Structure 1
């Protein structure tokens, strides 16, 4: 397995699969269209965010989307992990952890002193994030009315 930045064709494939990534990551709550995902991703890419992909030969296994964000209270720029996804056929093989560690390393090498991410309550990836040392920082709650 190799972790690297994608070429243009691979980037298109990642973006085409991102609605599934968001659907899975939000536990089925968010069902974005490809157009909405493309709009969101292109905005992030235009601001300097980028993907790292995991491949085996020419086969895409998963990806992580890295970038920066501003702390809402201090206005400090921090590293941010916007998306992590491993295709179902490759799950359970440690690929998520390798992508995350590579992503954190990239952000550290870019000079960020902190990395944050958001995750839906109940997502199994929380176990990985906590294992890696991520701590709960904020909690968003909702009430349907």
Structure 2
């Protein structure tokens, strides 16, 4: 197993999965069958974001989007995980954990004091993030309105 920065051809392959990734990451909040204004490139417009890929025999098994964000509340730059995805046939093998640990290792080398990510309730990766030491900082709440 190899984890390294994704090459252009691998990024193009990753982007072909964006609707499935978003649907799973949002725990069903986003319907992958509907047209969406969400773009798979959105994280890359907000900073210097890259993908790390996990490969076996040069085939992608999973990836993690990493970059930097600015925490507006404390005016500090932080490492940011924009996306973690393991292809279904490679799940429950530790790949997600390895990708996260490699991302964290790289953030430490770059001298970040902390790493942030967003995770929806119901996303199974939330347990992994907790196991790795992430803790909840804020909660986004929503009220559905009956407008009829």
TM-score in terms of structure 1 length = 0.91
The question of whether the paired residues in 2 share the 8 Å contact of 1:79 and 1:115 is answered with yes
Cα offsets for 1:78-110 (capped at 9, x unmatched): 111010000000001000000000011111111
Corresponding position of 2:42: 40
Backbone CA RMSD of aligned residues: 1.6
Query: Which is greater in Rg?
Result: 2
Q: How does 1:26-65 map to 2 (within 5 A)?
A: 26-31=26-31, 36-44=38-46, 47-65=47-65
1:105 correspondence with 2:105: yes
Corresponding position of 1:13: 13
Q: Aligned residues, how many? A: 143
The question of whether the paired residues in 1 share the 8 Å contact of 2:78 and 2:116 is answered with yes
The question of whether the paired residues in 2 share the 8 Å contact of 1:15 and 1:37 is answered with no
Shift of 1:7: 1.4
Shift of 1:35: 7.2
Partner SS for 2:16: helix
Shift of 1:38: 3.5
Which 5+ residue runs of structure 2 have no aligned equivalent?
Answer: none
Corresponding position of 2:93: 93
Corresponding position of 1:126: 126
CA distance in 1, matches of 2:117, 2:94: 19
1:2 correspondence with 2:2: yes
Q: Which of the two has greater helix per residue?
A: 1
Q: Where has structure 1 moved over 6 Å in runs of 4 or more?
A: none
Partner SS for 2:40: helix
CA distance in 2, matches of 1:103, 1:18: 20
Which 5+ residue runs of structure 1 have no aligned equivalent?
Answer: none
